[in-house]
A = this chain, B = another copy of it.
């Protein structure tokens, strides 16, 4: 593994927040989704999990969120577990309340914290505007397109201004232009607020553009294949996207991913 270094522009990063140690997960049907995963997430990290479909990215994210218990290994939080930690989570599927309007779905996390509808309204509206859903406040999920549902889910995860943001392929259902826009928005937000992000993606470009570290995973069994440090300064903008450095980094990450996939498909097919 590449030793961690402070990324320029993100001085706060570096204090370990969570370590996964030899974490494994075998489901009751015998499928080993994860095996012997070691990973450290540092405070202020923008960490991407990159890997082929079915390699255990979602499972790893759920373990990090505490939604799934690992069958082997341990999770070490640097904070006391009791400490109120606000976590934002974007599920791979939209996971909206089918009976609630878009507004109410985004309001939900605040509502659960006791914030009234009117108090929540400014924050909710602002986020809905950010994800280009103004005007759909009163629609229910079944009246939305796939991408719109996902955007509601993203808005919901951000509405509490969480200190830890866990996102499972949040932008997969969006067109590239909107995706770029939201990428920029997210980066901006991250630089302003310095929360920690674990970001599951299957897009090399996206992971390189966004994160300071990329954990490339391989499948069968799901494991950490290699960690890639993205040594590019923040803020990153459209200029970065067209820079040769970006292209080089992408090629590097892509190569790692290809070897990760080959190490899988070779075994399977």
B-binding residues in A (CB < 8 A): 27, 29, 31, 50-54, 56-59, 92-93, 129, 132, 134-135, 139, 143-148, 151, 168-169, 172-179, 202-205, 254, 257-258, 261, 265, 268-269
CB distance from A215 to the nearest CB of B (A): 14
CB distance from A123 to the nearest CB of B (A): 17
CB distance from A48 to the nearest CB of B (A): 12
The reply to whether B58 and A145 contact each other, CB–CB distance below 8 Å, is yes
**What are 29 A-B interface contacts by the 8 Å CB criterion?**
A31-B139, A31-B143, A50-B175, A52-B175, A52-B177, A52-B178, A53-B132, A53-B147, A53-B148, A53-B173, A53-B174, A54-B147, A59-B145, A92-B146, A93-B146, A129-B269, A134-B268, A146-B169, A172-B172, A172-B173, A175-B261, A176-B202, A176-B205, A176-B257, A177-B254, A177-B257, A177-B258, A178-B261, A179-B202
Give Cα distance in the complex from A139 to B29, angstroms. Answer: 9
Question: How many protomers of this protein does the assembly include?
Answer: 2
CB distance from A184 to the nearest CB of B (A): 14
Give Cα distance in the complex from A176 to B169, angstroms. Answer: 13
